[in-house]
Amino acid sequence: MTERITITEVGLRDGLQNQPSPVSTDDKLKIADALLAAGVDHLEATSFAHPKWVPQMADAEAIMTRLPKGEGRVYSALTMNHRGYDRAVAVDTRSVGVVITATDTFNRKNINMSFDEALVECIEIIERARTDGRHVRGYIGAAFVCPYEGRVSPDVVLDIAEKFADAGVDELGVADTIGAANPSQVKSMMVSMVNNFGADRVGLHLHDTQGLAVANSWAALEAGIRRFDSSIGGLGGCPFAPGAKGNVATEDLVHLFEGCGFDTGIDLDRLRDAVRVTESATGLSLGGKIISWMDSRT
Mean pLDDT, the chain, rounded, equals 94
Cα dihedral 177, 181, 185, 191 in deg (nearest 10): 40
267 sits in which H/E element? none
How far apart, in Å, are the Cα atoms of 30 and each of 24, 26, 265? Answer: 10, 6, 20
Residue of 241, 172, 176, 239 whose CA lies nearest to 211: 176
- Provide the residue count of the chain: 298
pLDDT in tens, 228-250: 999 999 998 655 555 556 899 99
Report the C-alpha gap between 163 and 10 in whole angstroms.
25
Residue of 80, 70, 2 whose CA lies nearest to 42: 70
pLDDT of residue 9: 98
pLDDT of residue 279: 95
pLDDT of residue 239: 55
pLDDT of residue 295: 84
Report the C-alpha gap between 125 and 164 in whole angstroms.
10
Report the C-alpha gap between 42 and 135 in whole angstroms.
13
Active site residue 146: no
Domains recognised in the chain with CATH numbers: 6-296 (3.20.20.70)
What tens-digit pLDDT sequence spans the chain (298 residues)? 579 999 999 999 999 998 888 999 999 999 999 999 999 999 999 999 999 989 999 999 999 999 999 889 999 999 999 999 999 999 999 999 999 999 999 999 888 899 999 999 999 999 999 999 999 999 999 999 999 999 999 999 999 999 999 999 999 999 999 999 999 999 999 999 999 999 999 999 999 999 999 999 999 999 999 999 999 999 986 555 555 568 999 999 999 999 999 999 999 999 999 999 999 999 999 989 998 888 888 7
pLDDT of residue 128: 98
pLDDT of residue 297: 80
Report the C-alpha gap between 234 and 236 in whole angstroms.
6
pLDDT of residue 36: 98
pLDDT of residue 48: 97
Report the C-alpha gap between 130 and 141 in whole angstroms.
22
